[in-house]
Structure 1
């Protein structure tokens, strides 16, 4: 093989490799984010119990979406928000955006999430409580009775050290977010904040999630 022919071959191979790389990196952004109907999209919701935006998102968008496409999503709730965890002499205390009442309500939510293993019922319980969390004990009892769940172990949990440990873990997860929380609620899709802008998720969760499927699930169009 003479030098000229070898040089031509090298150029052709180099251009071919560059073309493949260019093609991959310039694919439309939604191509890599499409999911099959056999897949489940995981939504992780970082929220706080007395946040109006959290209440609207959970009751008006998240819970209705769960009802429409339950076989295509899984939901993980992380109650903590913009709180701060302070540990001193073996004691854990929290400073919450909406004061001590929210810290206590967050603890009740954490105990619900820990004790109610059915994800659908868990979301229904949280959605019921967040509608009116100004009296956390009372609303936990009311929602427990509506869903046929014994609320007493949940309230006992909320007043014990276990609730502080649970809330601390939710705080660790929240503070580990990258990029960090700037708005509550913050939502991850499959563990990422990059699959869709938060503004788009908050505006229309159903449309955002349904657009990620190659074929729209039944329930997305009604």
Structure 2
């Protein structure tokens, strides 16, 4: 085979991979559940630095079916018919967990955004809440108004805040607690990341350190280019083309 034919073959593969990267493949999505806490520093770091950037990566975000479980190491008990919570980082975290539970329920009724395995506005809003709380170091009041404006959900703030402050928020948090308490093996650290409903400590640790790599390990079939080490450095099809041209000509 001539060098030119080899060049054409490699170019076709590169272009096909690029086409693959730019489409949503529902059948290739990975179920990802994140068990975390609203004020946990490690949870905030994972959400802001690992999860949120990946979801906004056009080559990877489409591969995630996301379930968020903001409960963590909280505990609950029934006192005279009222559910009472004790949260890992205090009462402020209980409010934050409830606020996020209400967010997941009320924004677009919890429906996924078109073409995605999660609700983008909910994720944008929660990321802003956690990022702002960490930066300001103040958990006495969550920046719902400013984060709602940033996430284009200003009309939903009254419903979310009402939910957080009444029995609905407690019931939603209880449901998340029930889900967390059923995790096997049981949750011992946060955040805990579970892939395809199988809780494996080594995978959760990898996800905390390198969520891109952990997700790529679970994508079936042809993987997006970003899953390759060269792609992680930003190598794209155009660069491949230039390299091939230089080599063959």
Aligned-partner Cα distance in 1 for 2:94–2:142: 16
Q: CA deviation at 1:38?
A: 3.3
Number of residue pairs matched by the alignment: 187
Alignment of 1:117-196 (within 5 A): 117=110, 118=113, 119-133=119-133, 134-135=138-139, 137-150=141-154, 151-194=157-200
Choose which of 55, 74, 98 in structure 2 pairs with 1:66: 55
Say whether the 8 Å CA contact 1:42–1:190 is kept in structure 2.
Answer: yes
- SS of match in other structure, 1:131: helix
Contact 1:105 1:136 in 2 (8 A): no
Please report how far the alpha carbon of residue 132 of structure 1 lies from its aligned counterpart in structure 2 after TM superposition. 2.9
Secondary structure at 1:49 match in 2: coil
- The question of whether the paired residues in 2 share the 8 Å contact of 1:45 and 1:77 is answered with yes
**Backbone CA RMSD of aligned residues:** 1.9
More helix by share: 2
SS in 1 for 2:193: strand
Among 207, 223, 247, the alignment partner of 1:216 is 223
Q: What is the Cα deviation at residue 136 of structure 1?
A: 6.2
Cα pair distance change 1:37/1:215, threshold 3 Å: farther
**Alignment partner, residue 114 of structure 1:** 105
Larger radius of gyration: 1
TM-score by length of 1: 0.78
SS at match of 2:224: coil
1:211: Cα distance to partner? 2.4
Q: Secondary structure at the match of 1:188?
A: strand
Q: Does 1:56 align with 2:31?
A: no
